[in-house]
Amino acid sequence: MTDAGVGAPDVSRGAFGALYDRVEHFYRQDRSFDVFRALLRDHVIRIWPLAVGDMVLGQEVEARQVHSLLTASEETGITTALLDSLLTEAGVFRQDETRSPSGKIFDAEVHSGLLREIATQVGPNAMCEAMDATLSEFRALVEEGVLELRSRLPKIKNP
């Protein structure tokens, strides 16, 4: 498996030790291992945040199945701290979650729309510019319920 991105896991040695290496290298051409290799590959891509194009047991990953907070942060360009808060607010993670950014794993397909939405959110100044409105006009639209805040997090200054 290639280490495609920062924080990408090395599943070959870390979790499966010599088993993974043997199936990957020594028995790659041995067709009697095909069923086992497919099972192992399917398991690996279901539990590790592997990106499209990463190699697992000689085959490219065709679709990301899970994200970690770290890989989602890298893909969206949003800091892990902010993304963690937004995903927690949306119910992806529990409030008391203590795992590291690389250990916070979630279903990539189920939450793909949420990640796309988060990546497009802008603050009041950008919104005012896009609408050709003043900040007062923008605030009035929010107060009237015409525009809806996308986050209620107190530490976000411009939700």
Yes or no: say if 80 and 103 are a contact pair by the CB < 8 Å rule. Answer: no
- Sequence-distant (≥ 6) Cβ neighbours of residue 114 within 8 angstroms: 87, 90, 92
3-state secondary structure of 13: helix
Looking at residue 22, its pLDDT comes to 80
Looking at residue 156, its pLDDT comes to 65
- Whole-number Cα distances in Å, 110 to 2, 38, 39, 113: 25, 24, 23, 8
Burial of residue 64 (CB within 10 Å: 0-12, 13-18, 19+) is buried
Looking at residue 159, its pLDDT comes to 56
The parts of the chain modelled with pLDDT lower than 70 are 1-14, 154-159
Residues 72, 19, 47: CA angle, nearest 5 degrees: 25
- Whole-number Cα distances in Å, 74 to 42, 99, 102, 157, 159: 24, 18, 11, 23, 21
Looking at residue 53, its pLDDT comes to 93
Looking at residue 104, its pLDDT comes to 95
Helix axis angle, 69-76 relative to 80-89, nearest 10°?
A: 110
Yes or no: say if 34 and 43 are a contact pair by the CB < 8 Å rule. Answer: no
Residues 17, 23, 29: CA angle, nearest 5 degrees: 160
